[in-house]
Amino acid sequence: MLKSFGIIILLTFATGWPAHTATFRVAAYNVETYLDTPTESRPYVKSPEARAKIRESIHALNPDVLALEEMGTTNALLELRASLKAEGLDFPYWEHVEGFDTNIHVAVLSHLPIIARHPHTNDYFLLDGRRFRVSRGFAEVELRAATNFTFTLIVTHLKSKRPIADADEADLRLAEAKVLRGIVDEHLHGNPDEHLIVLGDFNDTKDSASTKAVIGRGKYKLTDTRPAERNGDTITTARPRYEPRNVTWTYFYGVEDSYSRIDYILLSPAMARYWLKAETFIPTVPNWGVGSDHRPVVAGFSTEGN
């Protein structure tokens, strides 16, 4: 699992992992209702075929830190962790956060040591005079990538586009995004040089109000890493206003028969200085949809900077 992008590192199972590495990968993956037991509103458990495909996709990422959305119970997370370990990917550290939604959760699997945990499970906001809780909460962990390099990871799964009776889904998503941005601002106002990564399923495109709210503006605007397929595309943008026409979609919505980019890895200004663009991508896995309706994204980093 450990990488040095061009430097060969020899390991044995007997010696274990080094204390740190000059490079590392951080990934996000919505695993589409990874349940080991059915719930009242989600009656289907993850099939063995789907679990195998998800593990195949994770192997293609080869991450050091993996943020997960739509994870089931702690038991489901530990089953995935144990299955990956049996296949050679060991994540000694993990975090599982339960928010207002009792069915699906956000979680973290990590090879890098988790040195602090600050789960957000009870954040509230007001909408049209009514009080709502952030549905899935936010996982927040601090990790050590090297002796002198730590970073904070915040994992989110914002409100879906599925209509509900209580409020407009877009308004709920925007309100949750503003709560998340408030957490980001608290970090960066306290320490403008903090190494911060915000990632997960934002459930909307980059031009949406909710995604723009998380990215922010001005001094503390977050950098969108925009992972893309490694399919040989070298095309540059034909118009300065737009991104290049490479393949970046992460989600298939069957109702509309549409593909969109709604999964992100965003970086604080200080963290962006350590970002390896060449090691940031979406893996192309055959029959990826057997595992999930999302494709995972991964970004590479160097603790020595660029």
Listed residue (198, 69, 67) closest to 135, CA to CA: 69
Give the residue carrying structure tokens 């190494």.
Answer: 195
How would CATH label the architecture of 23-302? 4-Layer Sandwich (3.60)
Per domain, the residue ranges of the chain are 23-302
What is residue 21's predicted lDDT score, i.e. its pLDDT?
60
Residues 6+ away with beta carbon under 8 Å from 229: 246, 247, 248, 281, 282, 284
What is residue 239's predicted lDDT score, i.e. its pLDDT?
78
Mean pLDDT for each 10-residue chunk of the chain (306 residues)? 37 37 93 92 93 98 98 97 98 97 96 98 95 97 97 98 93 98 98 98 98 98 98 83 92 96 98 97 98 98 88
Residues 6+ away with beta carbon under 8 Å from 273: 305, 306
What is residue 147's predicted lDDT score, i.e. its pLDDT?
94
Token reading at 295 = 């494709």
For the whole model, what pTM was predicted? 0.92
Pairing of strands 251-253, 139-146: unpaired
Q: Which residues of 258-285 are buried (b: 16+ CB within 10 A; e: fewer)?
A: eebbbbbbbbbbbbbebbbeebbbbbeb
To 10 degrees, what angle do helices 74-86 and 48-61 make?
A: 60
Answer positive or negative: Cα dihedral of 277, 120, 180, 255. positive
Give the residue carrying structure tokens 């296949």.
Answer: 87
Pairing of strands 263-267, 196-201: antiparallel
What is residue 179's predicted lDDT score, i.e. its pLDDT?
98
Q: What secondary structure does DSSP assign to 25-36, as a single string?
A: EEEEEEEEEE-S
Pairing of strands 124-127, 223-224: unpaired
Q: Counting Cβ atoms within 10 Å, is residue 60 exposed (0-12), middle (13-18) or buried (19+)? A: middle
The three-state DSSP-derived secondary structure of 108-163 is EEECCCEEEECCECCCEEEECCEEEECCCCEEEEEEEEECCEEEEEEEEECCCCCC
Phi, psi (deg, nearest 5) at residue 193: -100, 15
Residues 6+ away with beta carbon under 8 Å from 43: none
Rounded CA-CA distance 105/137 in Å is: 8
